[in-house]
Amino acid sequence: MRVDGAPARAGARLRAGSRVEVELPAAADVGLRPEPIPLRIVHRDDAILVIDKPAGLVVHPAPGHPSGTLVNAILAIDPALAVGLGQRPGIVHRLDRDTSGLIVVARDDAAMAGLRAQWQARSVLKLYLALVEGRPREPAATIEAPIGRDRRDRKRMAIDADGRPATSRYRTLAALGHHTLLEVRIESGRTHQIRVHMASIGHPVAGDVVYGGHPLPGLDRQFLHASRLGFSHPTTGEWLELDAPLPPDLAGVLERLG
């Protein structure tokens, strides 16, 4: 940095009318590359994409997952996508790596702003199908419990009085032996919310070994699927409500239990 043509020291005081010159380094290459990863597109227009994300796909690059993500796959569909900054172009919300289902991507700045406003206002319909262990005492109920980072294991989340408010509403769809199929609507969108809330009432999501669930034969993940997503289109204002059927691995579990 130079002030009035001379090199300036850190902490130097500026005077009114001083001329400050700063040389900015070239923007770092964030390393995002298009990758031809197959995706099922549920809805597509000039403003948004809605994807039925498969289990096992990380949403955006992060430590340990520099490539092979949903973002890389989207860039292969939309190479000019440059909405937002850094490693998350177009990403409005996320799903856990091993949770399948619907996720919306903004394709321009106006769409990003409109969608983010709806997520912040909690006006979005977010429904999940979850198979849990045991049978909840109440066939339908609301779980309101704040969620924060687990103080003993930073890779997990936990119920924490100092955490962020979180609300999940569930209703029973079917009793299947020692398991129960639930439809869960979340009003907030905290990390691992449904998994933490169901474990907190003694009914962890089946297959979710991180939060106390037991493995299911033929399934190598938790039984959790974002089945329905509803929101106002950020450009037209039209209400969109989209569905994603259970993928084969989860549908197979229900067949075996039924």
List the structure tokens of 80: 């000019």
List the structure tokens of 121: 């206002």
The DSSP letter of residue 45 is -
Q: Which of 187, 25, 47, 188 is nearest to 114 (CA)?
A: 47
Please give the single-letter amino acid code of residue 197. H
- Non-local (6+) Cβ contacts of 27 within 8 A are none
Contact 201, 164 (CB under 8 A): no
Between the CA atoms of 64, 67, 73 and 74, what dihedral angle is there, to the nearest 10 degrees? 80
> Other CB atoms closer than 10 Å to residue 18's CB: what's the count?
11
Contact 87, 62 (CB under 8 A): yes
The rounded distance, in Å, linking the Cα atoms of 112 and 90 is 7
From the candidates 96, 98, 208, 249, which is the catalytic residue? 96
User: H helices of the chain, where?
Assistant: 70-77, 109-121, 193-200, 248-257
- Non-local (6+) Cβ contacts of 85 within 8 A are none
Q: On the CB side of 38, how many CA atoms lie within 13 Å of its CA?
A: 2
List the structure tokens of 118: 């709806």
* 96 belongs to the catalytic site: yes
Which residues participate in catalysis according to the annotation? 96
